[in-house]
Amino acid sequence: MNVKYFMFLFCPLAVQGQTTDIVQTADIIEVKTDNTSMIFTAKTDAPVFFQYWGNRIDSTADFSLGRAVEQQLFPAYGGRYFLNPALRLTHEDGVLTTELVYIDMESNSLDENRTETIVHLKDKLYPVFVDVHFVAHKAEDVIVQYVTVVHHEKDSVRIANIASSYFPLHAEAYYLTHFYGSWAAEMQWKEERLTPGTKVVESKKGVRTAQSENPSFLLSLNRPAEEDFGDVYAGALAWSGNYKLSFEFDEPGVLHTLGGLNDFASEYYLDSSRVFRTPDMVLTYSAHGKGQVSRNFHDWSRKYALAHGDKLNPVLLNNWEGTYMNFDEKTLTDMIDNAADFGIELFVLDDGWFGNRFPRDDDDAGLGDWQVNKKKLPRGIGYLADYAVSKGLRFGLWIELEMVNPKSELAQKHPEWVVKSGERDVLTMRNQWLLDMTNPDVQDFVVQTFDEIVAMSPNISYIKWDANRHVENVGSEYLPAGRQTHFWYEYVQGLYAAYERIREKHPDMEIQLCSSGGGRVDFGALKYHDEFWASDNTSAVDRIFIQYGTNTIYPVQATASHVSSSPNHQTGINVPLKFRFDVAMSARLGMELQPKDITGSDYRFAKKAIREYKLIRPIVQLGDLYRLISPYGENGWASLMYVSKDQEQAVFFAYSLKYHNPTYFETKLKGLHPGKRYKITELNGRSNHSSFYGNDKTFSGEYLMNVGIRLRLYRPYSSAVLLISEE
C-alpha cells in the first residue's frame, strides 16, 4: 500500500475522521490535470470525503467501495471534528457549529486548458451554502482552489475563520519547506520534519505580509524533498494581506493542511445574500521532486499570474543606489547617456522626484504630493522621458500611492484617509502613515493619481510600485464601528480593486511589484504586475540565497536582479564585477549604480555582459529552471541552469562561495535531450583562460547529464556562465 494516499482500508474510529459503511455507490468527483488527480466521494445529504490527491488515476470505481476512515472535503467546526477547522461560523442565535453536506456538483470547461469543478455544500439545519471551487490547469498540473459562502438568514452570520483550501495526507513522515526572513534577507529557505502537533506559518502585518514569512510551502513525504525524486505537494496563497498556513499532525498520523486568511482580529459579519469569496490557493503536486513543482508554478504563473507573462522583461538602470534622492536634471540625463552606451533598454527614476511645498529630499516629507519637484526637475518628467526615448531607452518612474508622510499636503487635507485606531497616536514607520484602502475615496485617489502620473508623458512606459510599511494600530474611519474587524480583508480587496481599474485603463504599462523589496511577493498581487523586486539587498552573495528561495515558487522571468556597487551598500562586502553580473544574469538583469563609475576594463566587460545577457535572456526568462547545487549545502557551491522548451539551448551558472583549493567543481546537467549534441561556450569571461576545459567543444546530452562537467572555480566569488547550444 502506498503510504502517500489517505484512503485507509483498515483503521479504528478516530476523532479527526468518520467511519462509514458505504452501502450504496457514492458519487465520484474528479479534478484532473494531465498528470494528477484529486478524487472525492459524495452522497446527497452526507459529508463529502477527500479521498486522494496524487498521480493521475483514470479508473476510479474502487473509491466507492469498502470501509474507510475518511476526511471531509472542507471540514467545518461541528460534529466530531476536533482539529483546526476550515470553516467556523457563529449564527445570530448563538449556535457555533456547522455541518456541511453534499447538494451536488458541476463541472465547466473554461477553455481548452482549464476546467472548473464546483462542489455545492449546505448546512444541514441553516440556509448556509458553501461552494468549494477547483480550477484545474491541465498542462501545468496546477489546481487553484477557493471557497465561496452565502446565506439567507435574517441576520448576519459571523465568519470566525475560513480557509481557501484543505487537504489531508498520510505518510510515515512529513518534511515541510517554508520561507522566512526579514528586510534585505527575504525568502530564506527552511526545511524541517514535522512532529505531532501544529506548525503554523502566518503573517499579521496587513501590508508587506510576505517579507518575514512567505504564504507558500512544500510538503515532501517520507524523506526530505529532493530535486528529482519523491512525492512533493506545494501551495502558494494568492493574497497580499494577513494569512495563515496550518500543518496539523494528528494522533493517527494524518497531516491536515489548511491555508487561507488569518483569523487574527478579523471576524467577518456576512449579511444575508452577500457572497464571501476567499483568496485563491494555488496547488501543485509532483511525483518527481521539488524541481518539477517549481517548473509547474513557473509555467502556470507565466500564463495566469503575470500581466504580460509571454514577453521578455527589459534590462534596466535604476538610479536609486547611484544617486538616492540627491539628483538634478543633468545628473539624470548623464545617467541616461551612460545607460544608452552600455546597451541598457530602460531607465527608471526612483524616489525623490516629487513634492514642492514639502520637497521629497528625504523620506520624511512629500509622500502623497505627486507633483514634479520644480527645483530638481525644472523641465518636468516629460523632458526626461523624451530625452530617454531620444537615446533609445524607455522611461519609468517610482511611486508609493498607498502611503503618506505626515509632512505633506495630502495628510493635511485628508486626515480621515489615514489608518488610525480611534484617538490613539498614529504611529509612523519610515516617517510615513498608511492610507485606508478600504475607503472608496482613497481607491479613487490612487487610481486618479496613477492616471495623472503616467499622463505626464506618453513616453512613460514603466512604473515601480512600492509600499514601505505595514499596519499598526489598525482602524478605519470609513468602516462602521461594528465592522472594524473587516479591515484586514477589505484593505486588500480595495487594493486589488484599484489594481483592476488601473490595469483596465493601462493594459500595456509595465509595473514592478515592490514592497520594501520582497514584502509582496505573492500570486495575488503578482497577476497585476510584470515583475517584482525580490529584495532591497543587491549584494550578489545574498541574492544567490534570496533568489534560490524565491524561484522555488515564483517565476524567474519576473525576478528583478541588479548589479550594484562594490562594496555593496547594504552589506559592505566587496565582490568582483563578474560575480555580480553572473548572479544578476540568472534572473531579470538590471543595474543599480552610477554607471559613470564603471571605467576601463570593467566598462568593457559590463558592456559585453549586457550584450551576452540579451542572447540568453529568452532561455533564462522563459525556459525551465533546473537547480543543480543548493547554496545551502556544506560545500560552498551553488549552481543552476535553464533549458529552452525545445531543448535546443540551455544556459548554466556556477558560483563559488568560499575558497576551495584543492577541491574542484563538478556537477551533472539536467533537462537536456540525451540524443542531441551540444556545443558549450563560456560567456562573461574576463581573461583568455576558460573555467571549463571543454570550452567551444561539443558533447552529447547523454554525456552531460550522466558524466557531467568540471570547472576551475577555486577562489571565493569566482563564477562561470556557459551557453549550451544544439549543434
Tens digit of each residue's pLDDT (9 = 90 or more) over 122-181: 999 999 999 999 999 999 999 999 999 999 999 999 999 999 999 999 999 999 999 999
Which alpha helices (DSSP H) does 194-351 contain, by range?
Answer: 289-304, 320-323, 329-342
Per-residue confidence band for 69, with pLDDT thresholds at 50, 70 and 90: low
Q: CATH top-level class for 316-623?
A: alpha beta
Query: Helices 440-454 & 487-505, crossing angle to 10 degrees?
Result: 30
Task: Give the whole-angstrom CA distance, residue 596 versus residue 326.
Answer: 16
> Would you say residue 99 has pLDDT above 50?
yes
Over residues 81-98, mean pLDDT: 94
659-691 tens-digit pLDDT: 998 888 999 999 999 999 999 999 999 888 899
Give the Cα-Cα-Cα angle 77, 83, 88 (nearest 5 degrees). Answer: 25
Which alpha helices (DSSP H) does 363-513 contain, by range?
Answer: 380-390, 409-413, 440-454, 487-505
Quick one: pLDDT at residue 79?
86
- Contact (CB, 8 A) for 113 and 142: no
- Contact (CB, 8 A) for 699 and 680: yes
The radius of gyration computed from the CA coordinates of the chain, to the nearest angstrom, equals 27
Task: Give the whole-angstrom CA distance, residue 683 versus residue 649.
Answer: 14
Quick one: pLDDT at residue 70?
81
Instruction: Give the fold, CATH level 3, of 18-304.
Output: Beta-galactosidase; Chain A, domain 5 (2.70.98)
Burial 701-711 (b: 16+ CB within 10 A, else e): bebbbeeebeb
Q: What is the mean pLDDT of the chain?
A: 95
C-alpha cell at 528: 497585476
> Would you say residue 518 has pLDDT above 80?
yes
- Where do the structural domains in the chain lie, given as residue ranges? 18-304, 316-623, 626-726
Percent composition of the chain: helix, strand, coil (DSSP 3-state, to 5): 20, 35, 45
Task: Give the whole-angstrom CA distance, residue 577 versus residue 609.
Answer: 10
Give the Cα-Cα-Cα angle 425, 427, 430 (nearest 5 degrees). Answer: 155
Supply the pTM of this predicted model: 0.95
C-alpha cell at 167: 487537504
Over residues 438-452, mean pLDDT: 98
Beta-carbon neighbour count of residue 696 at 10 Å? 10
Task: Give the whole-angstrom CA distance, residue 61 versus residue 153.
Answer: 39
Quick one: pLDDT at residue 662?
84
CB-side neighbour CA atoms (13 Å) of 35: 12
Over residues 513-538, mean pLDDT: 98
C-alpha cell at 531: 515583475
Residue 5: name the closest of 45, 47, 40, 51 by CA. Answer: 51
Query: Helices 540-553 & 577-584, crossing angle to 10 degrees?
Result: 10
- Contact (CB, 8 A) for 647 and 337: no
Q: Is 237 exposed, middle or buried (0-12, 13-18, 19+ CB in 10 A)?
A: buried
Beta-bridge partner residues of 354: 372
Over residues 569-574, mean pLDDT: 97
253: left (phi over 0), alpha (psi -120 to 50) or beta: left
Task: Give the whole-angstrom CA distance, residue 719 versus residue 585.
Answer: 12
611-648 tens-digit pLDDT: 999 999 999 999 999 999 999 999 999 999 999 999 99
- Judged by average pLDDT, the poorest of 13-17, 257-261, 315-319, 444-448 is 13-17
577-607 tens-digit pLDDT: 999 999 999 999 999 999 999 999 999 999 9
| C-alpha of 601 from chain center | 38
Active-site option among 466, 530, 542, 582: 466
Query: Helices 289-304 & 540-553, crossing angle to 10 degrees?
Result: 80
Residue 132: name the closest of 148, 151, 115, 116 by CA. Answer: 148
C-alpha cell at 468: 514601505
339-396 tens-digit pLDDT: 999 999 999 999 999 999 999 999 999 999 999 999 999 999 999 999 999 999 999 9
Task: Give the whole-angstrom CA distance, residue 244 versus residue 204.
Answer: 9
Over residues 286-293, mean pLDDT: 98
CATH 3.40.190.10 assigned to 626-726: no
Let me know if 58 is a catalytic residue.
no
C-alpha cell at 287: 511525483
Residue type for position 690: S
Active-site option among 536, 542, 582, 624: 536
- Contact (CB, 8 A) for 689 and 714: no
C-alpha cell at 101: 453536506
Let me know if 536 is a catalytic residue.
yes
- In the chain, the largest separation of any two C-alpha atoms, in whole Å, equals 82
Query: What are the backbone angles phi and psi of residue 375, rounded to the nearest 5°?
Result: -70, -45
**% residues pLDDT > 90 (the chain):** 93
Quick one: pLDDT at residue 284?
99
> Would you say residue 550 has pLDDT above 50?
yes
Task: Give the whole-angstrom CA distance, residue 40 versus residue 280.
Answer: 20
111: left (phi over 0), alpha (psi -120 to 50) or beta: beta
Sign of CA dihedral 219, 220, 224, 227: negative
221-276 tens-digit pLDDT: 999 999 999 999 999 999 999 999 999 999 999 999 999 999 999 999 999 999 99
Per-residue confidence band for 289, with pLDDT thresholds at 50, 70 and 90: very high
CB-side neighbour CA atoms (13 Å) of 654: 25
Over residues 470-491, mean pLDDT: 97
Query: Helices 329-342 & 380-390, crossing angle to 10 degrees?
Result: 20
- Between the CA atoms of 148, 149, 152 and 158, what dihedral angle is there, to the nearest 10 degrees? -150
Task: Give the whole-angstrom CA distance, residue 415 versus residue 497.
Answer: 22
Quick one: pLDDT at residue 68?
56
From first CA to last CA, the distance across the chain in angstroms is 47
Sign of CA dihedral 372, 376, 378, 380: negative
With H, G, I as helix, E, B as strand and everything else as coil, classify residue 490: helix
C-alpha cell at 122: 449546505
